[in-house]
Amino acid sequence: MRRIDYDSLRETVYCEQLPNGLQVYVVPKPGFRKTFAAFATKYGSIDNHFQAQGGPEIRVPDGIAHFLEHKMFEEPTGDIFAQFASQGASANAFTGFERTVYIFSATERIAENLTTLIDFVQNPYFTDENVEKEKGIIGQEIKMYQDHPDWRSYYGLIAAMYREHPVRIDIAGTIESISQITKETLYDCYRTFYHPSNMMLVVAGGVHAEDVMALVRDNQAAKTFGPQREIRRFFPKEPPEVARRTLTVRLPVSLPKCLLGFKEPQHNLEGRALLERELCTKLVFDALFSPSSVQYQSLYDEHLSPTISVTITRSAPATVFPCSAATRKTPTVSWNASGNSWMRRCPTAFARKTSSAAGAKKSAASCVCSIRRRRSPTSLRITS
């Protein structure tokens, strides 16, 4: 077990890679009553075309990673959520573009809950019957999100930016795509991506590192896994330009939504280099759009509600800047390629100059969202 001290943060992390490839991290927090644990696999919604070493090339339906996450909570003995609840823990899971994560938090019976977390994720149970039943449940979830303004606007922007990359597809897939999922395809994905060598366990809270490591070592030593196999992922070639110039989504909402996205070149950065790029991108957007910026004050003065945040998509490099608007005015945001500046035309107009020498070249890879208020239900217009 290796110890890593972060003196500036006053944090200590203990880590170890087990013989089966599982990476385990423990962050002791003396004095904390609650403990958190996350068991994650490097498998997300974009992994729909892959090949495990020595195996055939496989294509699977969109949304299968999210579908698999749902099915993992079902065991022959019953629902795992009920077991966690009986042990005083709160459990959940989520699927992203590149990760699927299973989590719990608890203030007691930590060893018991940690064992439950590891065991249920490493014990899949799929049948024809429970797969068919889940299709109806997830189908209802997909329909529910079709009426969610934030969800529709975010994925509308992603779809406007990307032409080929699977990041443009909703994480849950579509009703048509999940109808093609079978227990066999679920087991193919599970065997490929849920091997311990492709997974990570993180525990943080009022725990002792050696006790956690000993529990995980013993748990994994008692199980048998297949050989570790390198996973090759296939992605289509994505053009640098955005896919669509204009996309309009109309929903019966009282508050319009505005999103602005930048499609970055594929950079294939990892580790520290990727972290530095993300931090620099966030700093730039903070300087341009934070509450202390001229842009923020201008939006506020024009009765816009500048609730601003920045999301960076790692799998297909992009930066998304959302804000909400509540005004009778008609703002339009556009990129002036010749002048390398952002132009925002309202009853009052202004231009924000940038120092980007490559601004004109990058303009084709930026998506701008403008919102127009109608007498009828408001419309969201996403313009790239």
Catalytic residue annotation: 69
φ/ψ of residue 100, rounded to 5? -125, 130
Half-sphere exposure of 277 (CA within 13 A, CB side): 17
Helix axes 183-193, 128-145, angle to 10 degrees: 80
Pure H helices in the chain: 64-72, 80-86, 110-121, 128-145, 149-161, 175-178, 183-193, 209-221, 271-289, 294-301, 359-362
CA dihedral 51, 57, 62, 68 (to 10 degrees): -50
State both tokens at 121: 């994720």
Task: Give CA–CA dist 305/299, Å, rounded.
Answer: 7
Which residue reads 């294939």 in tokens? 268
| DSSP secondary structure letters along 23-87 | EEEEEE-TT---EEEEEEES--TT--EEEETTS-EEE--TTHHHHHHHHHTEETTEEHHHHHHHT
The C-alpha angle with vertex 49 and arms to 44 and 54, in degrees rounded to 5, equals: 110
Nearest Cα to Cα of residue 207 among 41, 27, 63? 27
Q: Computed over its alpha carbons, how large is the radius of gyration of the chain?
A: 23
Structure tokens at 165: 């990359």
Q: What share of the chain is helix, strand, coil (3-state, %, to 5)?
A: 35, 30, 40
Residue 43 and residue 220 in contact, taking contact as beta carbons nearer than 8 Å: no
